[in-house]
């Protein structure tokens, strides 16, 4: 990474804005359309809206990274350590983690639900409204716990989200606390296994 800029080259700078705008507007569009269009399967629509909310958080994260890249343009090296230690970096890093984990958990749930419907088509195994809402709330709760645990237990995790300029915890090779390193590996490998 160029020491003078948060995002190293023009391709990254352009794509962070393109992907951020596409993600935010695309998910807002789907949320609006799913809310206004009558759906035969309202529970599935509820899951899709929840997934759009989780994915929209990634758009917000990318927007914030782009905004801070503009703020620090040409002088990032003077602000790098203060930025990585800042509350803003910690919060947007936890938003990225929340988005990632909730998306993975929701996609896993939707896949399992469809798998059961295909494998057991003549059994009534589809979840009702109460179960679907409970599952969605549980998924968001788990996502919040995973994302914000490092902010609550600073002694164990130290600067979990501030080890790089984009505030995303990539600890597999960096000299951080053992707890933070293990947590990061388990979270990301667990997401890959799901």
Q: Residue 41: pLDDT band by 50, 70, 90 thresholds?
A: confident
Q: State the CB neighbour count (10 A cutoff) for residue 33.
A: 13
Q: Work out the average pLDDT over 126-150.
A: 92
Whole-number mean pLDDT of the chain? 86
Token pair of 140 as six digits:
């968001």
d(CA 112, CA 120): 12
Percent of the chain with pLDDT over 90: 49
**Dihedral sign for Cα atoms in the order 119, 125, 129, 133:** negative
pLDDT tens, 147-168? Answer: 999 899 888 888 888 888 888 8
Q: Residue 3: pLDDT band by 50, 70, 90 thresholds?
A: low
The residue ranking higher by pLDDT, 35 or 106, is 106
Going along the chain, which residue ranges are E strands? none
* Ranges of each domain in the chain: 10-193
pLDDT at 2: 46
Q: Work out the average pLDDT over 167-172.
A: 72
Q: Residue 93: pLDDT band by 50, 70, 90 thresholds?
A: very high
**Closest Cα to residue 90, out of 139, 157, 138?**
157
Q: How many helices (H) and strands (E) does the chain have?
A: 7, 0
What's the start-to-end Cα distance of the chain, in Å?
A: 32
- Whether 86 has a pLDDT exceeding 80, the answer reads yes
Query: In angstroms, what CA-CA distances link 185 with 45, 115, 116, 169, 189?
Result: 33, 28, 30, 10, 6
What CATH number should be reported for the domain whose range is 10-193? 1.20.1070.10
Which are the contacts of 86, defined by CB distance < 8 A and separation ≥ 6?
Answer: 162
Query: In angstroms, what CA-CA distances link 160 with 26, 40, 189?
Result: 30, 43, 17
- Whether 21 has a pLDDT exceeding 80, the answer reads yes
Q: Work out the average pLDDT over 90-108.
A: 94
The residue ranking higher by pLDDT, 117 or 111, is 111
d(CA 132, CA 127): 6
- Whether 1 has a pLDDT exceeding 60, the answer reads no
d(CA 32, CA 30): 5
* DSSP character at residue 73: T
């Amino acid at each position: 990474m160029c020491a003078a800029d948060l995002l190293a080259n023009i391709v990254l700078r352009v794509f962070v804005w393109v992907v951020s705008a596409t993600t935010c507007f695309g998910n807002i569009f789907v949320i609006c359309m799913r809310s206004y269009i009558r759906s035969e399967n309202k529970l599935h629509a509820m899951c899709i809206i929840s997934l759009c909310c989780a994915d929209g958080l990634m758009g917000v994260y990318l927007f914030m990274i782009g905004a801070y890249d503009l703020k620090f343009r040409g002088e990032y090296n003077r602000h790098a350590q203060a930025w990585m230690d800042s509350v803003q970096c910690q919060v947007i890093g936890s938003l990225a983690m929340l988005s990632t984990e909730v998306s993975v958990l929701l996609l896993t749930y939707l896949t399992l639900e469809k798998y059961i419907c295909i494998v057991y088509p003549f059994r009534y195994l589809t979840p009702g409204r109460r179960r679907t809402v409970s599952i969605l709330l549980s998924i968001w709760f788990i996502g919040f716990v995973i994302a914000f645990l490092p902010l609550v237990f600073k002694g164990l995790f130290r600067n979990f989200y501030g080890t790089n300029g984009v505030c995303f915890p990539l600890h597999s090779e960096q000299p951080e606390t053992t707890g933070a390193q293990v947590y990061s590996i388990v979270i990301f490998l667990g997401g890959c296994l799901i």
